[in-house]
Amino acid sequence: MPSQLTNFIKQLINLNGPISIEAYWNICLSHPEHGYYMKQDPFGSKGDFITAPEISQLFGEMIGIWAIEQWDALGRPAAFYLVECGAGRGTLMADILRTGKVIPEFLEATQIHLIETSPTLREKQGEALKGFQVVWHENLKTLPDHAPIIIIGNEFLDALPIQQFMFQDGQWFERMIGVNNNEDMIFGLSPVPCAESISLSLRKDGLEERVISEISPAREYFILDISKRIKHQGGAGLMIDYGHDVSAFGDTFQAIQNHQYVDVLKECGDADLTSHVDFGSLKKIGEIENLSVNMTSQGNFLKRLGIESRAAQLMQKSTAIESGYHRLIDNDKMGQLFKVMEIT
């Protein structure tokens, strides 16, 4: 039986015509009543997916060490904004702050800000961070700008929407979502080619017919915003997500429910929508702002911060830590698929 949100989207299409993947994505994840992130806790074994902080405390501890490193490089300011975008259940921030206790001056200087739209997750975050003063924001616009900023996003960028374009008959057309005669949602193409400005940015030599290109203005605007903040306020950014560090063609639009891939045009509001992050294009944005942008794999990043030594220390007390440790760093698990982008 179609969900209420599925019926809503079909009615919207029948009334106004096909919608873009970007519009569909935003409705599915952020509809105020039926949106995926607005009505439930999607994390953990009982949810639809598990993120690195939930896999092992090692992850949050290493991010905590990274944050302390950046604070130290900034000259140990007496106050700075520690910002997490899409903080899930608050597990990562709680682990960062627990790690920060080893340097009391770091913890005293920390002002916690979370970018979170989900009421359900804000409540979970509040429970995880009980005893700390937390300020929540709907987006970056309301973040203060009077002190340096250290901003972190783990599996945040992949939640921001994409657009897709298909190359056909020598031109680019935006991929849209419509409804067929059986009242099923289907993919199609816009009736007219996309604007010349988009065509020029997508055009490549030797294109095959019906090749798909993905772009994400939302992700690009986000990286531009934090880059400008880092440039003017001082600070650092850390973005961790699955994706590729060299821009490429292909359809990576997918939906996940109960830890399984499902049809992206079904289970509206009941499945997470995601796609691979094009770090290649995002890296250029930070560089245009004259910032240092470093790309590496999650495995290499965590090793650089000392995860091997910390895991060995913890495994002396309990071997339960071992499986999570390997899941985070091994190349055939998260170690290579997940990329890390540092902006300083």
Q: Which tens digits make up the pLDDT trace of 76-128? A: 999 999 999 999 999 999 999 999 999 999 999 999 999 999 888 999 999 99
Write out pLDDT tens, residues 5-50: 999 999 999 999 999 999 999 999 999 888 888 876 666 555 566 8
User: Rounded distance, CA 54 to CA 92, Å?
Assistant: 8
- The phi, psi pair for 338, rounded to 5°, reads -85, 135
What pTM value is reported for the model? 0.93
Q: Is residue 104 part of a domain?
A: yes
Q: Which CATH number characterizes residue 251's domain?
A: 3.40.50.12710
What the block records as the tokens of 235 is 């600070």
**For residue 335, is it within any domain?**
yes
Domain that holds residue 232: 39-160+216-343
DSSP-assigned letters across all residues of 257-295: ETTEEE-TTSSTTTSEEE--EEHHHHHHHHHHTT--EEE
Smallest Cα–Cα separation from 119: which of 32, 43, 50?
32
Domain count, the chain: 1
Alpha-carbon distances of 261 from 22, 89, 235, 295, rounded to whole Å: 19, 23, 37, 28
Whether residue 256 is contained in a domain is answered as yes
Residue 13 lies in a domain: no
Contact 272, 255 (CB under 8 A): yes
Question: Residue 211 domain-assigned?
Answer: no
Q: What CA–CA distance (Å, rounded) separates 289 from 231?
A: 7
Query: Does 166 reside within a domain?
Result: no
- Asked if residue 28 is part of any domain, the answer here is no
Residue 75 lies in a domain: yes
